[in-house]
Structure 1
Amino acid sequence: MATKRTPAERTLESTLLGRSVSFNYSETWVAYSIVGLRLVMAWVFIQAGLGKVADGGWGEPLAWSSAGFLNNAVADANPLHGLFLWFGDYAALVDPLVIFGQLLIGLALLVGACFRFAALMGAVQMLFFWTAAWEGGLAAGLPVENGFVFDSSFVYMLLLFGLAAWGAGRLAGIDGVLEQTGIVRSNPWLRYVLG
């Protein structure tokens, strides 16, 4: 028996792990959820960046530094401990990359401009935050502060990859307009940055 669908309802058919999958979804609710998730992730990055700018008080902007965390907070048992100590030696370079990276990523996610690139950069930053949280190696089960293997940084990383895959910058964002320009039409590779 065929099911009756509304015009905004569609069926996704794909292959996942070698098996055919199919399910119905509402285009309207998917669009709202994608824009909502995009805005929430934008706020996460903007808030983090602004928090770091204001951390030293308004009299000392940019007083925040990653050096204390990189040199002291990453567990000795973390398999990447040496990498983070090395980053700590270059805190003067790492600090503006983190602060301004978070602000620019947040703004790009907010307005939906160069969304895929911004989401990728945000996911890379979340990957570093996640690996810094490891309290041990594989033999220890990759423990993190509140459990094993996964924390909020990992969830944010996956969420950013998903939003990039959906092309969330096109929904109520600047990328939808930019993709209609002659420059993007003449250079289709730019669609990998936009979306």
Structure 2
Amino acid sequence: MATKRQPVERTLESNIAGRDVSFNYSETWLAYSILGLRLVMAWVFLQAGIEKLADGGIGDPLAWSSAGFLNNAVAEANPLHGLFAWFGSNAALVDPMVIFGQILIGLALLFGVFFRFAALMGAFQMLFFWTAAWQGGLMAGFPVENGYFIDSSFVYMLLLFGLAAWGAGRIVGLDATLEETSIVEQNPWLRYLLG
């Protein structure tokens, strides 16, 4: 006769910015919430990449391209305007990286494979999207179109960083299996990409 496993209450104790922090949490609900956040972020990336690819794909002159946004929508007051203008003039290189990057990040998040690497690459992409939305520089407080400092790209960036820190690929993901392989045991640096 199988016994039902009871949820385990744990206490997290840490020091953040020189201040002791302690709180109770449920391992069960933490695992469900991490898995849920992982699947939502997988959907966000997969949907974005597939929509761009479905708009005609790479090489189709009517297809989605980052050039219109990069050349016309990034504010001249943005301190990174020159970088984004360069990206816009090199859209033939940037577009495949955005489209296939989003699809591959989405798949890695979905299946929990090379999760930490994929989440950090997704956070890096969100960092670029966030900085492209800046309407001004430091003295202006880096305002963005839909908020003074924070927009959805910034939120996604922090969420992906958190999921990478938690090792969300181990929760009903392939990384838990990959970490037990002899290749990873013989090359422990691979653990930085997994999790």
TM class, shorter-length = over 0.9
| CA deviations over 1:45-85 (Å, ceiling 9, x no partner) | 0000011112249xx59811111111001011111111100
| CA deviations over 1:120-156 (Å, ceiling 9, x no partner) | 1000000000000001111111111112111000000
SS of 1:23's equivalent in the other structure is: strand
| CA deviations over 1:17-50 (Å, ceiling 9, x no partner) | 1111110000000000000000000000000001
Displaced runs of 4+ in structure 1, greater than 4 A? none
Is residue 19 of structure 1 aligned with residue 39 of structure 2? no
Q: Distance in 2 between matches of 1:87 and 1:22?
A: 45
Q: Distance in 1 between matches of 2:7 and 2:110?
A: 29
The answer on whether the counterparts of 1:71 and 1:85 sit within 8 Å (CA) in structure 2 is yes
- Equivalence for 1:3: none
Q: Distance in 2 between matches of 1:194 and 1:119?
A: 10
Q: Which amino acid aligns with 1:186?
A: Q
The answer on whether the counterparts of 1:39 and 1:109 sit within 8 Å (CA) in structure 2 is yes
Is residue 81 of structure 1 aligned with residue 81 of structure 2? yes
- Equivalence for 2:3: none
SS of 2:21's equivalent in the other structure is: strand
SS of 1:143's equivalent in the other structure is: coil
* Number of residue-to-residue matches in the alignment: 188
Q: Distance in 2 between matches of 1:62 and 1:18?
A: 54
CA RMSD of aligned residues (A): 1.4
Q: Distance in 1 between matches of 2:108 and 2:135?
A: 32
- Equivalence for 1:52: 52
**Structure 2, unpaired ranges of 5+:** 1-5
- Equivalence for 2:99: 99
Taking only the aligned residue pairs, the percentage that are identical comes to 79
Is residue 146 of structure 1 aligned with residue 121 of structure 2? no
The answer on whether the counterparts of 2:7 and 2:26 sit within 8 Å (CA) in structure 1 is no
The answer on whether the counterparts of 1:53 and 1:61 sit within 8 Å (CA) in structure 2 is no
Q: Which amino acid aligns with 1:35?
A: L
Q: Distance in 2 between matches of 1:44 and 1:62?
A: 24
The answer on whether the counterparts of 1:54 and 1:61 sit within 8 Å (CA) in structure 2 is no
TM-superposed deviation, 1:160:
0.3
**Structure 1, unpaired ranges of 5+:** 1-5
**Normalised TM-score (structure 2):** 0.93
- Equivalence for 1:41: 41
- Equivalence for 2:170: 170
Q: Which moved more, 1:60-69 or 1:121-130?
A: 60-69
TM-superposed deviation, 1:100:
0.1
Q: Distance in 1 between matches of 2:45 and 2:64?
A: 16
Q: Which amino acid aligns with 2:13?
A: E
Q: Distance in 2 between matches of 1:86 and 1:56?
A: 23
Q: Distance in 2 between matches of 1:36 and 1:179?
A: 22
